[in-house]
Amino acid sequence: MKKILIVGAGGQIGTELKTYLRERYGEANVIAADLQANPSDQYSIQLDAMDASALSLIVNKHKIDTIYNLVALLSARGEQDPALAWKINMGALLNALEVARQYGCQVFTPSSIGAFGPDAPKENTPQDTIMHPTTVYGICKVTGELMSNYYYQRFGVDARSVRFPGIISNASLPGGGTTDYAVEVFYSAVKGEKFICPIPADRRMDMMYMPDALDALHDLMTADSDRLVHRNGYNVTAMSFSPEILFAKIKERIPTFEYEYAVDPIKDSISSGWPDSLDDNCARIEWDWNPKWGLDAMVDDMISVLRKKLL
Ligand code: AKB
């Protein structure tokens, strides 16, 4: 049985990953760490991911063999404070890789579509291609990919990663990302509030519904190591759409839904450099990646879950 530590467990992915992993491995085998402990969760602990000694003590004490490092300052927030973004994103990763080296842990850290910049091919962006990110978030992601690969090659650390697109979910809101609009719009639409969209109407980006993202994490981490050629980060995607495509789908289901565009220059600039659609064939071949949720099914489910939650 695995003994898992999720660092950054209170975030958008961590909140749902905790439940997903506990269903498979048992409550006591999934320790959830974040800046604040959750008093109603007996397996939740307080941890500052920047504190290497505290992380090492926890890994030792709980006999952890698998670490999910989900700590990140996302793309738009990163542009407001590049030094802080570098410190947090790289600090948390290096601490996770070092402790994994010390205790022989497997370690997952998400990369992102943000690892690509405007020089990368826009359509069917290949797994291995020119990257040249132009945001501090993207620079951290490419560096993180290289560091994960380095720790694997040099020290044998079983480091694995995917390049996540925008993740759409309904349990915990994202914050500070460029793709956040694709989550926030559902909250406005279900509550009957007008949505102000910060992304240009025709700007396409890759997206994925949370159940597929959780399967991607679990399937990659349990995949046969011998099959994995790309240790740095696998392209994964489930759908690619622009605001105008998504809003039309929402309007088909909620005809009173209203929106307008007030494009945010930072988010415009970030998203204009990202791929329109990724090629995720390597993930499909090397660990059988196969997303189940398309755009229509995702929109139906988001609206139905949020109606129960918010109304
Ligand atoms: C962001 O928008 O910054 C993230 C991402 C795509 O990595 N959601």
Q: What is the pTM of this model?
A: 0.97
Between CA 69 and CA 94 the distance in angstroms is 10
Per-residue pLDDT at 273 = 98
Ligand 1 midpoint to CA 166 (Å): 5
Ligand 1 midpoint to CA 114 (Å): 6
Between CA 236 and CA 233 the distance in angstroms is 9
Please tell me if the domain spanning 4-165+210-235 has the same topology as the one spanning 167-206+238-276+293-310: no
- The tens digit of pLDDT for each residue in 153-171 reads 999 999 999 999 999 999 9
- The tens digit of pLDDT for each residue in 248-307 reads 999 999 999 999 999 999 999 999 999 999 999 999 999 999 999 999 999 999 999 999
In contact, 67 and 107? CB cutoff 8 Å: yes
Active site residues: 137
Residue whose CA is at the smallest distance from ligand 1 atom 8: 166
- The tens digit of pLDDT for each residue in 108-166 reads 999 999 999 999 999 999 999 999 999 999 999 999 999 999 999 999 999 999 999 99
Right CATH for 4-165+210-235 from 3.40.50.720, 1.20.1260.10, 3.40.50.1820, 1.10.1660.10: 3.40.50.720
Q: Residue 281: which residues within 8 A CB-CB, separation 6 or more?
A: 127
* Host H or E run for residue 308: helix 295-310
Between CA 228 and CA 234 the distance in angstroms is 10
Ligand 1 midpoint to CA 207 (Å): 10
Domain definitions of the chain by residue range: 4-165+210-235, 167-206+238-276+293-310
Q: Is 112 helix (H, G, I), strand (E, B) or coil?
A: strand
Right CATH for 167-206+238-276+293-310 from 3.90.25, 3.40.50, 3.30.750, 1.10.3470: 3.90.25
Nearest-atom number in ligand 1 for the CA of 179 is 2
